Structure 1
Amino acid sequence: MATAPVRGLSDAEAAARLRRDGPNVLPSLSHRGLLEISWRALTQPMFVLLMAAAALYALLGNARDAGMLLVSVLAVAGLSVYQEQRTERVLEALKVLSSPRSLVVRDGRVLRVASRELVRGDHLLVHEGDRLSADACILEASGLQVDESERTGESTPVTKIPGDPGEAGQLHAGSLVVRGEGAARVTQTGMATALGAIHRTLARLEPRSSRLQQELQRLVRRVALLAAITCVAASVAYAARDGSWAQGLLVGLTLAMALIPEEFAVVWSVMLALGSWRLAQAKVLTRQPQAIEALGTTSVLCVDKTGTLTRNRMALVALGDGHAQWRVSDSGMPPQGLHGLVSSALLASRMDGFEPMDEAIRAMARAAGVALGPGWQAGEHRGIRTGEPYVVHWWHAPGQARQVVAVKGAPEAVLALCAATPVLAEDLRALASRWAEQGMRVLAVARGTGSGPGHEAALPADVQLSALGLLGFADPLRDEVPAAIAQCRRAGVRVVMITGDSPLTAAAIARQAGLAECGEVKAVTGRELARMDAAALRRCVGDVSVFARVDPDQKLRIVRALQARGEVVAMTGDGVNDAPALRAADIGVAMGQRGTDVAREASSLVLLDDNFASLVEAVRAGRRIFANLRRALGYLFAVHVPIVGVALVPVVFGGPALLLPLQVVLLELLIDPACSLVFESEPPARDSMEVPPRPRREALFSLAAVGQAVGLGALVLVGAGLVQWLGHHSGATEAALRTASLGSIVVGNLALLVWFRRQGAHRAAANTAFDVLLVAVCLVWSALTSVPAVAAVFELATVPWPWSAWILLPTGWAIWRLWRHRGRATKRVIR
């Protein structure tokens, strides 16, 4: 069969067009620029209160404090803007990673490129399950049907015809290929596509907040209302007793600033975004943030065999026709008597496909010198269907009126189609069993003639097929899989293999991977599953770890049966038909390399390298992120207790205000980095993968956890109160009392930070962000208490020598830890 090779664009021409037209992307509707981020930061309740306090100081004639508060507004706003921009950069980077992939021909090579790199003129190859990312005109098509409902609203798939001058000859961005395949030339990209016009309309609509954002907004609004009521009540109480409405309003504003939990939104957004980025570095793309929380509860991982547990690098290592056999371990190439089997296997494969076994067959044919003669023309083909685990390829042979049909697939299914003698059929079945027990993937090949294909290339009744033999393929286990499965077992996570391969092959791989602790593997087939009712299936999935010859509908049944037993299920999938099961699983995991766009859209995670070990690392990361979120929220609840308590002291007991708005700003500059940077950088506990998954219904932060956090904050408040009591009895000045209250809160905050970092861990691990924060706090405190001009600005007292020297101890300790960490990192680089 001779066809003119397609060259496509050259790499240089594609790069030039990409520079000229820009990337094939639509502008992000959710992206926020610097001005919008800054405006949102400056209109937060905390900053409104800061501005109100600054205005009050100005009205009282205290220009210095008013100016310092304005500077503080800019400092806190700058920190918020930095964190928001960092989050935006991470999200934009994740969008680039999650960009769909497209198959193009460039310089005569078939490449899979990010769809954002498509340019006008590209030769695009489309297959079932692809989500189109550009407009194109169809050059070739084989049974191509496209769902254009995203653009037109029409749910019925549209048949595409090459060369048609109308819509039938065009493909549009946003459409989904539901059947068939073809080739097309890209005509428009980006905003020039038909989808771009819809995007311009969407850009004028205000996007809705996510469920999590709405919950956080409700929480902030409720606490802000509480803060407003407290502000008014405290102001009135203080003013009524001391007769100073201005001082009363300052006390009320300080209380309101101490109560507003604006850090909640910062913690959630920064930690989830950076957590997703860390997962992406481990080759796991997070498409839905809530999947991160669910990862920590996963109790069952349902995984495919090919490409996930194995390398997906099939090699044809054995041939057999019932009379002669050849193994790759034998010297030389297959004997002449087996060339007919190789030739028929070539007919039963795609000449330009990327399916691993088709590639292995083509490689073997080239090495053995087997090729189709001139004049062979490919006809229709039929892929694997539910209940039909084989492929059918029709050919027009030169000089023959009848068409040649070649079939390749599961031995039991292909042999059932053939008119083989009982002895030959039994010999081939026995050979297939022996090879499967050795871990091979075994396919049977048959060949025949017919008047022509039936509906959708099906085999008509007049076809007589002859069994030609068996093909044995080897797909070795990934080296890291046994250790990863052992790690899952220690973590209380079951691994269940679900594959379309034969039971014997699946069992052999399961034994190599360590899925069976005692070495015995029981594989249940799809045929056996079909005979089970719901109750029997629930019992079955509790004991069985290997399911073979399973179709996509049965995958969905397995997932639901596991969930009915109370399991939290993560399931991998790659095809269009896997989408329902991926959607039904608690965590759907799509394959990044061999998965279809539909599978990715139905999933919450994407394995960029199709590697099971990456999925195990994602579970570890999910547990780390959940634990750190819980610690951060506990710290947030606890840290506000002493601040609010000290601010309430003058309202309840009288006397001067012990916390001023400017001092609350300093505390906020400590709290924000502590939550969003220190806890996000916290490594996982050493035993994070040696404990069972947390219960599915366990809340992120329970009422008991709130009580514990408030109790710890109350202990810090008691310490601050004790310091105040000692100060009063020793005759301390008002400035000294403020210094003592602020210092006790700072020390209490650091103690809370250490306690929550150690929570759930045997000991606090090294954390560079914490050490840097500690050094910064010590330096700022030294300036506040040692430099009279700085102390006067914040209305604090200077601390005489040698009492101020204590600050050297934590500073030296933190610097020593940073130096030691740097030395260890340098040694790792040298090694």
Structure 2
Amino acid sequence: MIDPVNFGIKGLSEQEVLAARKTHGKNTLDYKQQHKFIDALKDILQEPMVLLLSIASGIYFLTGNIGDGIFLASAIVLVASISFYQESKSRNALEKLKNITQPKAKVIRDGELKEIQTHDLVIGDSVMVEEGTIIPADGVIIHSNDFSVNESLLTGESMAVFKDAQSEKNKCYTGTMVASGLAIATITAIGNATALGKIGKSLESIQEEKTPLELQIASFVKKMSIVGGITFLFVWGINYYNTLNLLESLLKALTLAMSILPEEIPVAFTTFMALGSWRLMKLGIVVKQIKTVESLGSATVICIDKTGTITQNKMSLVKLYLFKSDQIVPIPEKTNLLEEELITAAMWSSEPIPFDPMEIALHETYSKIIPVDERQAYKMVHEYPLGGKPPMMTHLFENQQGERIIAAKGAPEAFFPISNLKDTEKGKIQKAITILGDQGYRLLGVGTAKFIGTDYPETQQEFLFDFLGLVAFYDPPKKNIGAVLKEFDRAGITVKLITGDTATTASAIAKEVNFIGYEKGMTGTELMQLDDKQLQEKVKDIQVFSRMFPDAKLRIINALKANNEVVAMIGDGVNDGPALKAAHFGIAMGTKGTEIAKEAASLILVDDDLSKMIDSIAMGRKIYSNLKKAIQYIISIHIPIILTVFIPLALGWAFPNIFSPTHVILLELIMGPTCSIIYENEPLEKNTMLQKPRLLTTTFFNLKELLTSIIQGLAITVGTLSIYQYGIAQNFTEDTTRTMVFLVLIAANIFLTLINRSFYYSLYTTLKYKNNLVPLIIAITVVITASLLFIPPFTHFFQFSSLSFEQLFLSMLTGFISVIWFEIVKWNTRKKTNNTTI
């Protein structure tokens, strides 16, 4: 590879960098002043539960119940602290994600090419940008090869604009994307002083769309809040009618409203998404939008590229096809004239500063094999970027003596109509293409042309080329790719290969890695001849798509989506951008991927390892499953609290106000952490990756799952109210009855937590799951409950009483029985699926 320093670019010294940074600051866009503490405090004070607690606390103070008022005020502080903790965990996870996704920039400093964070760029730096990257700061171009930029972010114009140092269009701007070529630019503006920075205020008004799951959860919470509000007014009205005591009746109504409000659900959702993203980041997967984490497990089709995904993207030039002698030869240590001519022409057809792996391999081979290096003697005078179908590119070089080199490379078929080739000669070339393609080599045709004058043709296809031969590159498959493909198959996910390579090369590599359906192929040309309906049928069976270009890739994605598939697309190049954007999940390679690909994608595989996609899909399924368990737990445990408060009140039982707001908030504080702490930390169940992906259109809860939670809640309610009536029948005091009912709820909570860790496997199996938080949270719950029962000040404050051994045992047994019946349901489910694992 040619050193940029050979172009006379030394860049800034470290002292100059420090001085520039001191004067102009960092290359960051800063607009909205964020007051994280104040914003978080505002959000917490607006939470319905905090408002209800505040009202109830105020009423206790007004009625002289100072102890209860202080307790509820303390509960507000505790709830706020938990919310702050959850919010800070989410924010820290997001900050770490932001640091990971911070793009890098190549800069020349002290005569060396270095890679740094974009925010470390300073005015005066010499930055190198190439195809697929996002320009990190405003600058003036001082060198370029075939350089064009998409400036739609600033201008709205989607067509790429060609730029070079000599023309009026010699400036590049932050945030715009390099569509082709390479350039070196001197930075003239950074941060808010850039063109993007000056219009950046508009970016603050962009609102994020909510995901389908987020909308479903918000709708559920809203409905529960409405039910709570209506019930609150109803109970307040009845109590006021009976007692004519405004504050007391308001307090009873608030008790019920607190029991109905499912404030844990949005907290659980946020916690699961943020921590899920953080866990994925530790695995080497960056999720750009944390709200999409739960959706990952629903992918039904994954479209993957060959180069860098199945293969290692370590291109090496391994063979040559010499057209003039009709020979296929390995790369020699010493070249003859024909070999030298082909390698030299292939190098001249590449960029002077190569960045594509194949061009780098050509430059390296030229450096090793060709005796006299002439690269410094020639200067590029004209170029034709990669284009046409099949694609090719052409470069024109000239030395001081006026000697000219015109060299082109591209798809071998691209040369057939623009070279003086007879049909027999085309047949020989086609035979060589088949032989090399069958061995999995990636092929480029190479040709040269002659032209006098400077009135160059408008297109490269107007030259008459002398076809010299083929250069064959080998990119070995990744060692783990076969196992990864098997894992996708086991998870019920179809994998489709979409590549720009020839059909023979694509099929050979697919066969080598045991790719399912490697024999079922289609080219881009064949694909474009089909209408949308025909393509929708074809994509069901075709697994290998070769000679693909951006429009063809996009049509494949859209056809799969039209078939109601949930599509993930993996890509790394500029031409993958549209397909990455169109797919449900665009996945970019972190190391070899272009910035354009990363910008279009919703996930980034940091180390380009496809096996991490298995991890991300498993994580997505786990998060979705565990979030569902948490919310089912919340529904189940809220029902007995609601009914235990409401039924005695509505039916006028002996102790109508068995629970006060103090008791309800105590239950909430004990039970609340279970859903978001224990369930978020649950491991992946062993049958999760053997299930078919769920459809994105699937509602969060189906009727059966919702009924399960409701029935579990009603069963616990039967237990609590049975103990309630037992206490009345035994002439127990109100405090003793309250204590026993409270204990039933606590015991049911503990056993429900354990039983609902799986809705399929038995308690015996789930107790073996590794989750260190389960024994910790249960131990804390037991200690708190024991303190309430056996430490007199606590017992007196909460209007409890000490229980006899029989009362204690009966309460715990009732709580156990009210949930353990579900083990029979799970056993019956396993029996139906002929699964003997317990």
TM-score by length of 1: 0.89
Provide the residue aligned with 2:381 in structure 1: 379
Matched, 1:786 2:795: no
- 1:496-575 matches, cutoff 5 A: 496-516=496-516, 521-575=519-573
Provide the residue aligned with 1:317 in structure 2: 318
Kindly, what percent of the aligned residue pairs are identical? 30
Provide the residue aligned with 1:643 in structure 2: 641
- How far apart are the structure 1 equivalents of 2:218 and 2:33? 18
Q: How big is the shift at 1:252?
A: 1.0
Taking structure 1 as reference, are residues 20 and 227 closer, same or farther at Cα in structure 2, changes over 3 Å only?
farther
Taking structure 1 as reference, are residues 150 and 624 closer, same or farther at Cα in structure 2, changes over 3 Å only?
same
- 1:123-522 matches, cutoff 5 A: 123-142=126-145, 144-151=147-154, 160=163, 162=165, 168-178=169-179, 180-200=181-201, 210=210, 219-241=220-242, 245-289=246-290, 291-322=292-323, 323=325, 324-327=327-330, 332-334=333-335, 337-370=338-371, 371-372=373-374, 375-400=377-402, 403-420=404-421, 424-451=425-452, 458-459=459-460, 461=462, 463-516=463-516, 521-522=519-520
Q: How big is the shift at 1:656?
A: 4.4
Matched, 1:106 2:109: yes
Taking structure 1 as reference, are residues 761 and 186 closer, same or farther at Cα in structure 2, changes over 3 Å only?
farther
Provide the residue aligned with 1:690 in structure 2: 690
The answer to whether the Cα contact below 8 Å between 1:407 and 1:414 also exists between their aligned partners in 2 is: no
The answer to whether the Cα contact below 8 Å between 1:678 and 1:770 also exists between their aligned partners in 2 is: yes
Give 2:781's match in structure 1, choosing from 777, 781, 787: 777
The answer to whether the Cα contact below 8 Å between 2:318 and 2:473 also exists between their aligned partners in 1 is: yes
Provide the residue aligned with 1:672 in structure 2: 672
Provide the residue aligned with 1:795 in structure 2: 799
Provide the residue aligned with 2:580 in structure 1: 582
Deviations 1:292-316 (A, max 9, x none): 3432221111110000111101011
Secondary structure of 1:680's aligned partner: helix
Judge which range, 206-215 or 62-71, deviates more: 206-215
The answer to whether the Cα contact below 8 Å between 1:782 and 1:807 also exists between their aligned partners in 2 is: no
The answer to whether the Cα contact below 8 Å between 1:556 and 1:581 also exists between their aligned partners in 2 is: yes
Q: How big is the shift at 1:533?
A: 3.0
Secondary structure of 2:107's aligned partner: strand
Q: How big is the shift at 1:362?
A: 1.5
The answer to whether the Cα contact below 8 Å between 1:592 and 1:606 also exists between their aligned partners in 2 is: yes
Taking structure 1 as reference, are residues 121 and 792 closer, same or farther at Cα in structure 2, changes over 3 Å only?
farther
Deviations 1:347-386 (A, max 9, x none): 1112312100111112212222442265211233333324
- How far apart are the structure 2 equivalents of 1:291 and 1:51? 35
Aligned amino acid, residue 648 of structure 1: F
- How far apart are the structure 2 equivalents of 1:775 and 1:501? 60
Could you list the runs of 5+ residues in structure 2 that have no partner in the other structure? 816-838
- How far apart are the structure 2 equivalents of 1:725 and 1:157? 78
Taking structure 1 as reference, are residues 237 and 806 closer, same or farther at Cα in structure 2, changes over 3 Å only?
closer
- How far apart are the structure 2 equivalents of 1:429 and 1:43? 72
Q: How big is the shift at 1:257?
A: 0.8
Secondary structure of 1:25's aligned partner: coil
Secondary structure of 1:775's aligned partner: helix
Judge which range, 410-419 or 798-807, deviates more: 798-807
- How far apart are the structure 1 equivalents of 2:432 and 2:699? 55
The answer to whether the Cα contact below 8 Å between 1:104 and 1:125 also exists between their aligned partners in 2 is: yes
Taking structure 1 as reference, are residues 425 and 153 closer, same or farther at Cα in structure 2, changes over 3 Å only?
closer
Secondary structure of 1:307's aligned partner: helix
Judge which range, 703-712 or 141-150, deviates more: 141-150
The answer to whether the Cα contact below 8 Å between 1:276 and 1:286 also exists between their aligned partners in 2 is: yes
- How far apart are the structure 2 equivalents of 1:474 and 1:436? 10
Deviations 1:223-276 (A, max 9, x none): 334323322322332354466554432221111111112222212212112222
- How far apart are the structure 2 equivalents of 1:392 and 1:157? 19
The answer to whether the Cα contact below 8 Å between 1:9 and 1:123 also exists between their aligned partners in 2 is: yes
Taking structure 1 as reference, are residues 336 and 385 closer, same or farther at Cα in structure 2, changes over 3 Å only?
closer
Provide the residue aligned with 1:822 in structure 2: none
Secondary structure of 2:395's aligned partner: strand
- How far apart are the structure 1 equivalents of 2:347 and 2:743? 80
Q: How big is the shift at 1:96?
A: 2.1
Q: How big is the shift at 1:416?
A: 4.2
- How far apart are the structure 1 equivalents of 2:442 and 2:507? 11
Matched, 1:6 2:9: yes
- How far apart are the structure 2 equivalents of 1:808 and 1:18? 67
Matched, 1:706 2:702: no
Q: How big is the shift at 1:500?
A: 0.2
- How far apart are the structure 2 equivalents of 1:135 and 1:513? 45
Aligned amino acid, residue 692 of structure 2: P
Judge which range, 589-598 or 340-349, deviates more: 589-598
Provide the residue aligned with 1:740 in structure 2: 740
Secondary structure of 1:405's aligned partner: strand
Secondary structure of 1:294's aligned partner: helix
The answer to whether the Cα contact below 8 Å between 2:150 and 2:178 also exists between their aligned partners in 1 is: yes
- How far apart are the structure 2 equivalents of 1:64 and 1:582? 60
Secondary structure of 1:567's aligned partner: coil
- How far apart are the structure 2 equivalents of 1:791 and 1:27? 54
- How far apart are the structure 2 equivalents of 1:447 and 1:715? 83
Provide the residue aligned with 2:818 in structure 1: none
The answer to whether the Cα contact below 8 Å between 1:787 and 1:798 also exists between their aligned partners in 2 is: no
Judge which range, 59-68 or 604-613, deviates more: 604-613
Deviations 1:390-429 (A, max 9, x none): 221111145346x421111222223443224655544343
- How far apart are the structure 2 equivalents of 1:191 and 1:807? 66
Deviations 1:276-295 (A, max 9, x none): 22222232222234533432
Deviations 1:593-639 (A, max 9, x none): 33333333333222223332222222222211221222222122112
Give 2:88's match in structure 1, choosing from 85, 90, 93: 85
Judge which range, 103-112 or 54-63, deviates more: 103-112
- 1:749-760 matches, cutoff 5 A: 749-760=749-760
Taking structure 1 as reference, are residues 758 and 556 closer, same or farther at Cα in structure 2, changes over 3 Å only?
same
Deviations 1:692-717 (A, max 9, x none): 21234321123432222111111111
- How far apart are the structure 2 equivalents of 1:559 and 1:705? 33
- How far apart are the structure 2 equivalents of 1:299 and 1:53? 50
The answer to whether the Cα contact below 8 Å between 2:318 and 2:330 also exists between their aligned partners in 1 is: yes
Provide the residue aligned with 2:831 in structure 1: none
Aligned amino acid, residue 582 of structure 1: L
Secondary structure of 1:464's aligned partner: coil
Taking structure 1 as reference, are residues 502 and 214 closer, same or farther at Cα in structure 2, changes over 3 Å only?
closer
Taking structure 1 as reference, are residues 87 and 387 closer, same or farther at Cα in structure 2, changes over 3 Å only?
same
Provide the residue aligned with 1:616 in structure 2: 614
TM-score by length of 2: 0.88
Taking structure 1 as reference, are residues 663 and 111 closer, same or farther at Cα in structure 2, changes over 3 Å only?
farther
Taking structure 1 as reference, are residues 154 and 588 closer, same or farther at Cα in structure 2, changes over 3 Å only?
closer
- How far apart are the structure 1 equivalents of 2:208 and 2:449? 59
Provide the residue aligned with 2:826 in structure 1: none
Aligned amino acid, residue 414 of structure 2: A
Could you list the runs of 5+ residues in structure 1 that have no partner in the other structure? 811-831
- How far apart are the structure 1 equivalents of 2:709 and 2:35? 35
The answer to whether the Cα contact below 8 Å between 1:131 and 1:175 also exists between their aligned partners in 2 is: yes
Provide the residue aligned with 2:830 in structure 1: none
